[in-house]
Amino acid sequence: MATTTGPLGLPEAVRGCLFDMDGVLTATAEVHAAAWKETFDAFLRARAQETAQPNVAFDEVADYDRYVDGRTRADGVRSFLASRGVALPEGQPDDPPEAATVNGLGNRKNALLLERLAHDGVRVFEGSLRYVRAVKERGLGRAVVSASANAAQVLEAAGIADLFEARIDGLVVARRGLKGKPAPDMFLAGAEALGLAPSEAAVFEDALAGVEAGRAGAFAFVVGVDRVGQAQALREHGADVVVGDLAELLEQR
């Protein structure tokens, strides 16, 4: 495990920071979880009626953390449905939301998410905002690395888009054929966008798949952000340090 020595609670070798968005910068994780639950529960109820199989509803905490948090929409659909013994055809990216395909369910979830964001807005974690501003003041590179295809809209709605020099999101993943977290591809792309080697970048993640990705990519430092009481799991999956809020790192002098 790396040790922290710098004023930002990071090793001195770190020259850039790669931030996950949902749950790290913005409080949209609960909105995502609610949209996933509405999507999956409706699908599972209908399937149970058709097949007479037990209907085990989506758990907004346990299932969200284990199967969908930090992953692309398609990977989240596949991962969760596999836990229920369900496999669907992939379909096409433009499948309608009512289609019983991986892409259809993903599009259904996205439509519900956008409705909720439009209604509820986006909240930024104040401690994260303080930390990112401190990172900028010290001249370190900053990139958002998020599986969300709506990252640009969320960052703009939150008023923090101008704090970052690069963005690797779900659209970039699809365009470049990158593997989603827990593979390190997205974070490696983020480091590359900042002109850095992995050994010069720190990863900030609240998802288990995300800290796994940070560890798999041999990054200089992996910060786990515990918003839901999974500090030990974050450490076990590869976090060098776990904090409840990024502002805590500013106090590690």
Q: What is the pLDDT of residues 126-182, one digit of tens each?
A: 999 999 999 999 999 999 999 888 899 899 888 999 999 999 999 999 999 999 999
Which pLDDT does position 5 carry in this prediction? Answer: 62
3-state secondary structure the chain: CCCCCCCCCCCCCCCEEEECCECCCECCHHHHHHHHHHHHHHHHHHHHHHHCCCCCCCCCCHHHHHHHCCCCHHHHHHHHHHHCCCCCCCCCCCCCCCCCCHHHHHHHHHHHHHHHHHHHCCCECHHHHHHHHHHHHCCCEEEEECCCCCHHHHHHHHCCHHHCCEEECHHHHHHHCCCCCCCCHHHHHHHHHCCCCHHHEEEEECCHHHHHHHHHCCCCEEEEECCCCCHHHHHHCCCCEEECCCHHHHCCC
Q: Which of 2-6, 63-67, 187-191 has the lowest mean pLDDT?
A: 2-6
Is 16-28+122-250 a domain of CATH 2.40.10.340? Answer: no
Paired tokens of 75 = 């990977």
Which pLDDT does position 4 carry in this prediction? Answer: 59
Which pLDDT does position 1 carry in this prediction? Answer: 58
How far is residue 55's CA from residue 213's CA, in Å, rounded to a whole number? 32
Q: Hey, where are the domains in the chain?
A: 16-28+122-250, 30-120
Phi then psi for residue 247, to 5 deg, are -60, -25
Paired tokens of 70 = 């930090």
Mean pLDDT for the stretch of residues 108-133: 91
Kindly tell me if the per-residue pLDDT of 111 is higher than 90.
Answer: yes
20 tagged catalytic: yes
Mean pLDDT for the stretch of residues 183-198: 98
- Selecting among 22, 69, 75, 95, the annotated active-site residue is 22
Average pLDDT value over all residues in the chain:
93
Which pLDDT does position 172 carry in this prediction? Answer: 96
Using a 10 angstrom Cβ sphere, with 0-12 exposed, 13-18 middle and 19 or more buried, the burial of residue 60 is: middle
- Selecting among 20, 63, 65, 69, the annotated active-site residue is 20
22 tagged catalytic: yes
**Sorting pLDDT into bands at 50, 70 and 90, what band is 199?**
very high
Here the contacts of 223-228 (C-beta below 8 Å, separation 24 or greater) are 223/9, 223/249, 225/23, 225/24, 227/23, 227/29, 228/61, 228/65
Q: Is the pTM of this model over 0.85?
A: no
69 vs 77, which has greater pLDDT? 77
Paired tokens of 170 = 């779900």
